[in-house]
A and B are shown apart, each in its own frame.
Chain A
Amino acid sequence: MAEKTWIRMSGLGGQGVITCAHILATAANQEGKESTVNPFFGAEKRLAPAESYVRISSEVIHERGEILKPDIIMIFHPHVITLGKCYTMPFYEGLQPGGNVIINSDQPLAISKEDLEKLNQMQAKVFYVSATQIASEVGGTELSTNMAMLGALLGVAKVVSFDAVKFAVQDRFGGKNFVASGSTAALDDVMKSKFAKVTQLIEKNMNVVEEASKRVEEYQL
């Protein structure tokens, strides 16, 4: 049987959801696993719902499109849950038994009793991480929120190694090979302008990843 981890990332345009997914998939590939990644978004707008799906498996992956049965759900912004800014409602729909939910928020969200009960029945684990705050503190820019989320993921489940992530970050921002779409390319330029050198960008972002992996906390359902 194939060993599979399906990860659904939901966030808002401009938060780096798609970049985060790309880095994760590249890291998985680097480790010799099979992986595909594909984003789903509406208009290329900041704050519009944006999702990306990472499939990691020990065998060739045929399935395409949205991940309807995720093992891990990553929520990059409280609005995904509180304002329903996502492609799946409720946000945990399809989560596999014993799956994980990682939410970027400084404090637990007002999730309804009913939803919490359902999560409990599914034996889900819910984690919170102050990803945006960690990004500002450690990385010096909110644009690193996605890297903090990636760190939180590694803190919860070792889907890939830190080294592989470092390779992928290097490939993404240091390499010449990566091609970003129109609006993502524009944000890339902003990101790069915040750091004197690409090496500095990579180092700071890796610090964010490590810090967030330590600061992610389980919420008792």
Chain B
Amino acid sequence: MIEQKVMDPQQLFFEAERQEVFITGSEIVKEAVKRANVDIAISYPITPQSESMHLVGDLYAEGYVKEYFRGESEFAVMSEVIGAAMAGVRVFTATGGQGALRAFENFPNWSGSRLPLVCAFMTRGLNAPLSIQPDTLEMAFMLDTGMIILHAEAAQDIYDMLLKAFIIAEKTDVHIPVGVFMDGFFVTHTRDKVKITPAEFKLPPYEPYSSPIPVMDMENVPFRHMRDPFVMKSNFISYAAHASWQQEVLAAAERSRRYIQQYLGGLVEKENENADILIITSGTAVSQSQEAIAMAQQEGIDVGLVKIKCIRPFPTAEIQQLAANAKAIIVPEFNRVGWMCRELKSVIEDNTKVVGGPRVFGGMTMPPEMILDEIRRCTQ
């Protein structure tokens, strides 16, 4: 193994010197994992994710990751990481699109089992005919798996969110998985400038006995889990245990808010948020909106921007406050169903001012002019 010095997370995130490099999203994943003190990484190919896990494989060959292999399917991989996490090590994996849905049954199981897994999701279209192009539709399915869901806008977010995801996921009072989502191609394959910390420093190792549930290593007291298994619906206790456990998983996500605040500076970022017209969105749609807002400014239209970084838990209070005085809220999205719009409408009191769209899908790029059109309409 390559020797790296352990650095306190707070210091690594906020104080360590940073060097600017010009690399692709996939390469940023490699750089983040290199510094994350990952024990095991398990891979399975799917465009646009494959490249990043090839590179994590290189980290294994170079001695930065202790164990790495290609599993037999996404379903299997997402179960293999369960075993590894239950045995008390830090695990990383990645998938996207069809891969995410193939593995789907595992995700609620991850959170229900309180596993601090970190998985990168590199989004891709899902419908037939087959597509490999970017589309954030899969995120709609992932929202209620119990995972913490972060959405990277661009290069720098990938690096910061991935490293911070491990630390947030592993807090004893959180200890649930984190999905770091990034838009396929737009983010994974774009070469951009990103500031990274020196490779000689890594995060502290995962401490297995900080887990709120027993580690499956037979190094803690042997016990019988329970008198009646949950699935025996014969008994009031099993109902009560199941119901309270679901609440506990939700509560764990709620408790992550303060760590997301501490490490990511909040669940949202905002610019000129007092403008009458607000754009609220996440991922690449934020980047396109920035261009549209600059164009609108030239026409003398004042538009604010709210970037949602964390979608689960949802920034309900933040959004309610930001939306209160806006006259119109535009929600550009890279998917057909408009899940972000649904989310926003469900928490904004006067949700008639929420404009769902523009939307592109099937791999299309969203021209900033499309957003500008929507802005112009809102001024009428």
On A, residues with C-beta under 8 Å from B are 22, 25-26, 29, 36-40, 42-44, 62-66, 68-69, 179, 181-182
Within 8 Å by CB of A36, from B26, B55, B132, B190, lies B190
Interface string of B128-139 (1 = CB under 8 A from A): 000011100000
Determine if B51 and A63 form an interchain contact, defined as CB atoms under 8 angstroms apart.
Answer: no
Determine if B288 and A63 form an interchain contact, defined as CB atoms under 8 angstroms apart.
Answer: yes
> Chain A's nearest CB lies how many Å from the CB of B62?
12
A-B contact pairs, 17 of them (CB 8 A): A25-B22, A36-B191, A36-B192, A37-B191, A38-B186, A38-B189, A42-B132, A63-B288, A64-B186, A64-B365, A65-B186, A65-B364, A179-B55, A181-B54, A182-B50, A182-B51, A182-B54
On B, residues with C-beta under 8 Å from A are 22-24, 26-27, 30, 47, 50-51, 54-55, 132-134, 154, 183, 185-187, 189-193, 284, 287-288, 290-291, 363-368
> Chain A's nearest CB lies how many Å from the CB of B350?
30
Residue in chain A with minimal CB distance to B58 = A179
Determine if B185 and A39 form an interchain contact, defined as CB atoms under 8 angstroms apart.
Answer: yes
Give bound CA distance, A107 to B86, whole Å: 65
Determine if B284 and A38 form an interchain contact, defined as CB atoms under 8 angstroms apart.
Answer: no
Within 8 Å by CB of A63, from B191, B193, B287, lies B287
Within 8 Å by CB of A64, from B24, B133, B154, B193, lies B154
> Chain B's nearest CB lies how many Å from the CB of A64?
4
Residue in chain A with minimal CB distance to B360 = A65
Give bound CA distance, A129 to B288, whole Å: 34
Using A65-B284, A66-B365 as known contacts, list a sample of 9 further A-B pairs with CB atoms less than 8 Å apart, ordered by residue number in A: A25-B22, A25-B191, A29-B193, A39-B185, A42-B132, A43-B132, A63-B287, A179-B27, A181-B51
Give bound CA distance, A135 to B51, whole Å: 29
Residue in chain B with minimal CB distance to A36 = B192
Determine if A37 and B132 form an interchain contact, defined as CB atoms under 8 angstroms apart.
Answer: no
- Tell me which residues across on chain B come within 8 A of A182, comparing CB atoms: 50-51, 54
Give bound CA distance, A182 to B205, whole Å: 31
Give bound CA distance, A181 to B48, whole Å: 10
Assuming the contacts A25-B191, A39-B189, A179-B27, asked whether A64 and B288 have C-beta atoms less than 8 A apart, the reply is yes
A-B pair number, CB within 8 angstroms? 70
Determine if A38 and B287 form an interchain contact, defined as CB atoms under 8 angstroms apart.
Answer: no
Assuming the contacts A22-B191, A25-B191, A179-B55, asked whether A62 and B288 have C-beta atoms less than 8 A apart, the reply is yes
Give bound CA distance, A156 to B269, whole Å: 42
Within 8 Å by CB of B22, from A29, A62, A65, lies A29
Within 8 Å by CB of B365, from A22, A62, A65, lies A65
Determine if A64 and B189 form an interchain contact, defined as CB atoms under 8 angstroms apart.
Answer: no
Determine if A38 and B26 form an interchain contact, defined as CB atoms under 8 angstroms apart.
Answer: no
Give bound CA distance, A5 to B363, whole Å: 24
Assuming the contacts A63-B368, A65-B365, asked whether A44 and B187 have C-beta atoms less than 8 A apart, the reply is no
Assuming the contacts A25-B191, A26-B22, A181-B51, asked whether A62 and B185 have C-beta atoms less than 8 A apart, the reply is no
- Tell me which residues across on chain B come within 8 A of A22, comparing CB atoms: 191
Determine if B291 and A63 form an interchain contact, defined as CB atoms under 8 angstroms apart.
Answer: yes
Residue in chain A with minimal CB distance to B154 = A64
Determine if A179 and B26 form an interchain contact, defined as CB atoms under 8 angstroms apart.
Answer: yes
Give bound CA distance, A184 to B185, whole Å: 16
- Tell me which residues across on chain A come within 8 A of B190, comparing CB atoms: 36-38, 64
Residue in chain B with minimal CB distance to A181 = B51
> Chain B's nearest CB lies how many Å from the CB of A60?
9
Within 8 Å by CB of A68, from B23, B26, B367, lies B367
Give bound CA distance, A63 to B332, whole Å: 14
Instruction: Please name the 10 residue pairs, one residue from A and one from B, whose CB atoms are nearest each other, closest first.
Output: A65-B365, A38-B190, A62-B290, A66-B365, A64-B186, A62-B287, A37-B191, A63-B291, A181-B51, A64-B287
> Chain A's nearest CB lies how many Å from the CB of B362?
12
Determine if A64 and B191 form an interchain contact, defined as CB atoms under 8 angstroms apart.
Answer: no
Give bound CA distance, A38 to B186, whole Å: 7
Give bound CA distance, A155 to B133, whole Å: 34
- Tell me which residues across on chain A come within 8 A of B363, comparing CB atoms: 40
- Tell me which residues across on chain A come within 8 A of B183, comparing CB atoms: 64
> Chain A's nearest CB lies how many Å from the CB of B216?
36
Residue in chain A with minimal CB distance to B133 = A40
Assuming the contacts A36-B191, A44-B47, A179-B55, asked whether A64 and B132 have C-beta atoms less than 8 A apart, the reply is no
> Chain B's nearest CB lies how many Å from the CB of A89?
14
Within 8 Å by CB of A65, from B30, B185, B290, lies B185
Give bound CA distance, A39 to B133, whole Å: 11
> Chain B's nearest CB lies how many Å from the CB of A40?
6
Residue in chain B with minimal CB distance to A38 = B190
Give bound CA distance, A77 to B32, whole Å: 38
Within 8 Å by CB of B291, from A40, A62, A66, lies A62
Give bound CA distance, A115 to B160, whole Å: 47
> Chain B's nearest CB lies how many Å from the CB of A69?
8
